[in-house]
């Protein structure tokens, strides 16, 4: 058996310390998509509150969202911030989903083609697209976010000028190409960065001390 690389060692340490994370928290694949847009530039708490408002209003399908005026949609998602912009993005996402027969059809499309198609949707950048691909469409892509950059720069695996694609490739090449691993690893990074590897890190409680360069 080959010696685990550093990405794999970190995954094992985090996984042992925190256990299964059961991400993404949502009832349906479409709710994951909505959450991926609403969490842009805000906390999950704020995005979750907006999702709750949409659910309470019976607006958790593409057709239902497209059937309400944009100003009403915006008023329901105010907690997520930039609500007028995000309303426009949600509408564009819903139009994209409805261009296909259903979400199962999207799941059956090749990764590269559906990612390219998704990135062409208004307001959908690489991180949001990959959240949707991984957590809603079960595609093996590794999500890179600010937490990943902060944690892995301290671990000596990220340079400040690395592009999104370069970082993503480094993870995907170092790990088994499995949705379950990419899902769990990203979730572990988020929980660790939020609770321990913060902007002012709590190093004394870190399970990665032996791997860290800080």
- Other C-beta atoms lying within 10 Å of the C-beta of residue 112: 9
Give the per-residue pLDDT at 159.
87
How far is 204 from 196, CA to CA, in rounded Å?
9
Q: What SS3 state is found at 37?
A: helix
Read off the pLDDT of each residue in 79-105 and give the average, rounded to a whole number: 96
pTM of the model: 0.95
What does the pLDDT look like over 137-162, one tens digit per residue?
999 999 999 999 999 999 999 988 89
Judged against a pLDDT cut of 90, whether residue 2 lies above it is answered with no
Read off the pLDDT of each residue in 187-198 and give the average, rounded to a whole number: 97
Fold match between 6-22+142-211 and 29-136? no
How far is 125 from 111, CA to CA, in rounded Å?
16
Look at the domain 6-22+142-211 and name its fold.
Endonuclease Iii, domain 2 (1.10.1670)
What does the pLDDT look like over 86-96, one tens digit per residue?
999 999 999 99
> Any idea which of 14-18, 40-44, 101-105, 111-115 has the lowest mean pLDDT?
101-105
Domain ranges of the chain: 6-22+142-211, 29-136
How far is 181 from 131, CA to CA, in rounded Å?
14
What CATH number does the domain located at 29-136 have?
1.10.340.30
Read off the pLDDT of each residue in 24-31 and give the average, rounded to a whole number: 96
pLDDT band at 67 (very low <50, low <70, confident <90, very high): very high
Q: Measured at the alpha carbon of residue 89, what is the angle toward residues 87 and 95, in degrees to the nearest 5?
A: 105
pLDDT band at 38 (very low <50, low <70, confident <90, very high): very high
Mean pLDDT, the chain, rounded, equals 95
Judged against a pLDDT cut of 90, whether residue 213 lies above it is answered with no
- Do the Cβ atoms of 111 and 140 come closer than 8 Å? yes
Burial string for 69-95 (b: 16+ CB within 10 Å, else e) reads eeeebbebbbbbbbbebbbbbbbbbbe
How far is 83 from 102, CA to CA, in rounded Å?
26
């Amino acid at each position: 058996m080959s010696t685990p690389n550093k990405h794999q060692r970190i995954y094992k340490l985090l996984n042992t310390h925190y256990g299964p994370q059961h991400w993404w928290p949502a009832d349906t694949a479409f709710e994951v998509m909505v959450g991926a847009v609403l969490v842009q530039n805000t906390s999950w708490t704020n995005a979750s509150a907006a999702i709750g408002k949409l659910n309470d209003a019976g607006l958790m399908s593409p057709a239902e969202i497209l059937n309400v005026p944009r100003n009403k949609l915006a008023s329901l998602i105010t907690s997520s911030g930039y609500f007028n912009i995000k309303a426009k993005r949600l509408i564009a996402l819903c139009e994209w989903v409805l261009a296909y027969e259903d979400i199962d059809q999207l799941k059956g499309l090749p990764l590269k083609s559906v990612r390219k198609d998704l990135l062409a949707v208004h307001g959908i950048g690489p991180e949001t697209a990959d959240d949707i691909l991984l957590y809603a469409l079960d595609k093996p892509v590794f999500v890179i976010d600010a937490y990943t950059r902060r944690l892995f720069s301290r671990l000596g695996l990220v340079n400040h000028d690395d592009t999104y694609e370069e970082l993503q490739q480094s993870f995907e090449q170092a790990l088994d190409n499995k949705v379950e691993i990419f899902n769990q690893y990203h979730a572990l990074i988020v929980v660790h960065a939020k609770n321990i590897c913060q902007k002012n890190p709590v190093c004394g409680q870190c399970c990665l001390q032996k791997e860290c360069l800080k």
